[in-house]
Amino acid sequence: MIHLGRGKQRKKRAAVREVSLLDQESGTYLKKWTGKLPVALLYPNKYSVGVSSLGFQLVYSLLNDPDDLVCERFFLPEDVHSPLRSFESGRGLDEFPLLFYSISFEHDYVNIARLLLSAGIRLFAESRENGPVSSASPLVIGGGVATFMNPEPLAPFTDLFLLGEAEGILPSLLSILLKNLPHMTRAELLLTIQKKVKGAYVPALYTPRYDESSGRLLTSTAVSGISARVTKVIVPTVKKAAHSQILSPAAEFSNLYVTELGRGCSRGCRFCAAGFIYRPPRLWDADAVVKGVEERNAAVRRIGLLGMEMADQDELENLSSYLLDSGCSLSFSSLRADRISGPLLKLLANSGLKSVAIAPDGASERLRRVINKNLTESDILLAAERLAGVGLYKLKLYLMIGLPTETYQDLEEMLTLIRRVKAVMLPLGRARGRLCEISLSVNCFAPKPWTPFQFHPFGGGGAVSEDDNSAAGAVKSLNKKIDFLKKSLRHEANVRMNHDKPDNVLFQAVLARGDRRLANVLALMAAKGLPWKQAMRHEGLTSEFYAVHQYGVNDYLPWNIIDHSIKQSYLWTEYQKSFQAETTVPCDTSVCRRCGVCGD
């Protein structure tokens, strides 16, 4: 018998797991390398999360469509001691001259640094050799929704960002790369891309300038001959909705076929980045959605829909009828409480769902006006009644705490709402011999770029005392609110509550509002394993500076390097309206010209 050392045993187990996962997938690209340009596509989280990402799958498909490219995926290893290998062929990252990464969440930023370091790639773009791009000195290209909210914390690691929707950027980029990669130096290639590809952002061509006394970012200056800001790219319409390319039982949402109804959202919730960075909101034609669904294997019956929040009643009912007739079941993240009726209810009842989620988000009706949610208590109670009426007795409610102007009176109103929801659902459940359950998911508000609340401090500005504007005070205030809700619900039968950790959300807010100086923090965390607060102290940076700062209408913000066509004055006006609990009607792109995206 041959005995392997511990390191070799770990590597062998990891290889066996990856082969097993690959064998279980459907829709994988397995291409030969001969005569093709190798492209690595990195997802900075575990396989189960990455393979569930529709955006990641879309980019994987687009990069494999050209005959002269071969794209293979890399995920964060389950075992930190496992070697970093491509999912398809087991090759190392050092065999790929082009490294694309797709990132959706701020907490995954440090994993980008970990992946690059684990492959022996120079972490900072400025230290990479300025010769022709090669597998020994690859081009690092970033994309994903987090990068076109604010790419700056990752800018020092990244040669090139693609800001916007992949279908509108990748064809022109790949054409330039295939033509010029062997013949140009890195600097020449990047300058060419910056000038010719809409949505391309080369951080090395832009220099941030800071105020010497306050440390605040004043502006960012571009080299001569390129635009001062980078315009985000959108896809106006599609013939076929984006949909799952790969299915896997090991995915976070096992063997779920996902398709999108559109992009963006017309509602304009003031905390929600997706409702602003994907403007104008686009609802795909019903035929395009059906074409996306029809591309699935006929044996796949679980359908996940993205964008249900902005679909109108008729669209939802028609699509629900189609899915019912096709024998499909439905899955989704959450439903608009004022959109639950008709065929959609029947589809939900037939889908075998264990629970259904709706998102009041604001604790009180006043707060829901503050955030422009436009949901009343009556909407929520009617939705609960209708869901229980068709046999869906487990209801999940999403709630945010730490919103601007929030008080304990708002939280008390949420507790009253939960009791009223129970009172509505309980008799309907008892009539069928079933127990009704409510799950409350409490999440801390973090200010996000390109939203009206981008100006607002983390913690909602409500520290434990009025004279305490520290990050620690904000965290303490949020923890007190969580404890208050826990104690209030302790003896409430069949009501469960879970919550995130305010300290973790504080770091999310730091990264969301961050600038390039945070790259050194991420590098220390990745290379030396330092906790984020220790890494911040090492760099002389504070959470207050990034997360708890109150911005003004004329401040230059780190993410202003991107042009989303949204007027900062519009976001400020929406922010000011929130303090009066004034709502704004949803976008109507045929007539609305308020924000600037559709012109003045």
Q: Which of 396, 397, 400 is nearest to 453 (CA)?
A: 400
Q: Which residues pair with 26 in a beta bridge?
A: 247
**Are β-strands 495-499 and 200-201 bridged in parallel, bridged antiparallel, or unpaired?**
unpaired
d(CA 115, CA 73): 12
Looking at residue 6, its pLDDT comes to 42
Q: Which residues pair with 164 in a beta bridge?
A: 233
Task: Indicate whether 198 and 81 sit together in one domain.
Answer: yes
Task: Indicate whether 287 and 190 sit together in one domain.
Answer: no
Is residue 205 assigned to a domain? yes
Task: Indicate whether 55 and 184 sit together in one domain.
Answer: yes
| Domain with 438 in it | 257-579
Task: Indicate whether 551 and 412 sit together in one domain.
Answer: yes
Identify the segments of the chain with pLDDT beneath 70.
Answer: 1-19, 461-468
Q: What angle do CA 502, 158, 47 make, to 5 degrees?
A: 60
Is residue 596 assigned to a domain? no
Looking at residue 3, its pLDDT comes to 32
Q: Give SS3 for 239.
A: coil
Is residue 586 assigned to a domain? no
Whether the upstream peptide bond of residue 171 has omega within 30° of 0, thus cis, is no
Task: Indicate whether 223 and 267 sit together in one domain.
Answer: no
Task: Indicate whether 389 and 493 sit together in one domain.
Answer: yes
Is residue 355 assigned to a domain? yes
Helix (H) or strand (E) holding 563: strand 562-563
Task: Indicate whether 225 and 262 sit together in one domain.
Answer: no
Burial of 495 (0-12, 13-18, 19+ CB in 10 A): buried
Q: Which of 548, 442, 547, 458 is nearest to 500 (CA)?
A: 442
Which tokens sit at 169?
A: 């950027």
For the domain that residue 435 is a member of, what is the CATH number?
3.80.30.20
The helix, strand and coil proportions of the chain, stated in percent and rounded to the nearest 5, come to: 40, 15, 45
**Greatest distance between any 2 Cα atoms in the chain:** 77
Q: Give SS3 for 548.
A: coil
**Residue 221: partners with Cβ closer than 8 Å, 6 or more residues away:** 206, 207, 209, 228
Q: Give SS3 for 254.
A: coil
Q: In what order do the strands lie in the sheet with 98-102?
A: 69-75, 37-43, 98-102, 139-143, 160-162, 200-201
Question: Which of 192, 213, 230 is where one domain is finished?
Answer: 230
List pLDDT tens digits, range 364-420. Answer: 999 999 999 989 999 999 999 999 998 999 999 999 999 999 999 999 999 999 999
Is residue 359 assigned to a domain? yes
Looking at residue 17, its pLDDT comes to 53
d(CA 101, CA 143): 6
* Residue 185 to residues 135, 138, 223, 564, Cα–Cα distance (Å): 14, 12, 18, 31
Task: Indicate whether 414 and 521 sit together in one domain.
Answer: yes
Looking at residue 285, its pLDDT comes to 87
Looking at residue 373, its pLDDT comes to 95
Q: For the chain, what is the domain count?
A: 2
Residues 381 and 424 sit within 8 Å (Cβ to Cβ): yes
Task: Indicate whether 269 and 130 sit together in one domain.
Answer: no
Is residue 322 assigned to a domain? yes
Looking at residue 79, its pLDDT comes to 82
pTM of the model: 0.93
Is residue 510 assigned to a domain? yes
Task: Indicate whether 298 and 438 sit together in one domain.
Answer: yes
Task: Indicate whether 190 and 313 sit together in one domain.
Answer: no
Task: Indicate whether 158 and 265 sit together in one domain.
Answer: no
Please, what is the end-to-end C-alpha distance for the chain in angstroms?
Answer: 77
Is residue 243 assigned to a domain? no
